[in-house]
Amino acid sequence: MSGRLAVVGLGPGDARWLTREAEAAIAAAAALYGYGPYLDRVPSRPGQARHPSDNREEAARAAAALRHAAEGASVAVVSGGDPGVFAMAAAVCAEIEAGPQAWRTLDVVIVPGVTAMLAVAARAGAPLGHDFCALSLSDNLKPWELIERRLDAAAGVGFVIALYNPISRARPWQLGAAFERLRQRLPASTPVMFGRAVGRPDENVVVTTLEGADPATADMATLIIVGSSETRAIARPGRAPLVYTPRAVQGASA
Ligand code: SAH
């Protein structure tokens, strides 16, 4: 019997943002693998095995899930947000590429989810209404100089920038350095959005400007969107501003 491995996106937190395909893939699995807090979000079913692991053990978790599936089991690996965005799907692919030939015969299914960037954007308005990019600020898996080059390039050509993994105890200064860098290329008034734990009970969304952006506002559960020079905030009485990036850039032939 050939096994099955589903890599399932849970969305950012709100159960209403879990797709029906994700729900079905979780229910169908005989065993679940994932970072402990993500597994805790998934309802348990009698007879279903759970294998929580630490945040940093992505390669080992992927390999363990693949070994289990190769025994013929139906296994699901869960991921926050979308599994293909800075998450488990690429870790699973890397293990398959490096692993035994038998892993290539497994039925592998990636189940997409709502990524944090989309959830934060929706709370703020429509900041991703025109061209944008996403960057992980973590220099665990790439050199900081490369992150700086990418920030410069992205801001320089007018992309709105979504920053994942903005800060952690082991990476305390990188976000401040990133803001400093962006201030050299973008107007001080550029809208900046901090979305923390979006879709969870402790959600907090703050809209500020590049000039006012304070790295201390962010933690590991925060996604930051830095606008482009086209992005604007519409002030509204008694309500948070509505931030959007127009669909046409200035100078476009309409
Ligand atoms: N696969 C995930 C991203 C994993 S990287 C996804 O698609 O969303 C982890 C980073 O995602 C965090 O550091 C944070 O920047 C962001 N993130 C994840 N969940 C979030 C949430 N509920 N609210 C805000 N940011 C979140």
Atom of ligand 1 nearest to the CA of 163: 15
The gap between the terminal CA atoms of the chain, to the nearest Å, is 58
Model's pTM, two decimal places? 0.96
pLDDT, residue 56, reads 78
Q: What is the mean pLDDT of the chain?
A: 96
- The count of other CB atoms within 10 Å of the CB of residue 42 is 21
Atom of ligand 1 nearest to the CA of 117: 8
pLDDT in tens, 194-214: 999 999 999 999 999 999 999
Integer Cα distance of 12 and 235 in angstroms: 27
Structure tokens at 159: 């992309």
Query: Does the CB atom of residue 84 touch ligand 1 within 6 A?
Result: no
**If you count DSSP H runs as helices and E runs as strands, how many of each does the chain have, helices first?**
7, 13
Atom of ligand 1 nearest to the CA of 164: 15
Residue having the nearest C-alpha atom to atom 18 of ligand 1: 116
pLDDT, residue 163, reads 98
Phi, psi of 95 (to 5 degrees): -70, -40
Query: Does the CB atom of residue 193 touch ligand 1 within 6 A?
Result: no
Q: How confident is the model at residue 45 (pLDDT cuts 50, 70, 90)?
A: confident
C-alpha distances in Å from residue 183, one per residue of 129, 225, 226: 22, 14, 11
pLDDT, residue 1, reads 55
Return the residue matching tokens 């006012």: 212
Query: Does the CB atom of residue 115 touch ligand 1 within 6 A?
Result: yes
Atom of ligand 1 nearest to the CA of 224: 15
Mean pLDDT of all residues in 20-30:
97
Q: Is the pLDDT of residue 168 over 80?
A: yes
Query: Does the CB atom of residue 221 touch ligand 1 within 6 A?
Result: yes
Kind of pairing between the strands at 191-196 and 204-209: antiparallel
pLDDT, residue 254, reads 61
Mean pLDDT of all residues in 57-70:
96
pLDDT in tens, 234-251: 999 999 999 999 998 888
Q: Is the pLDDT of residue 2 over 90?
A: no
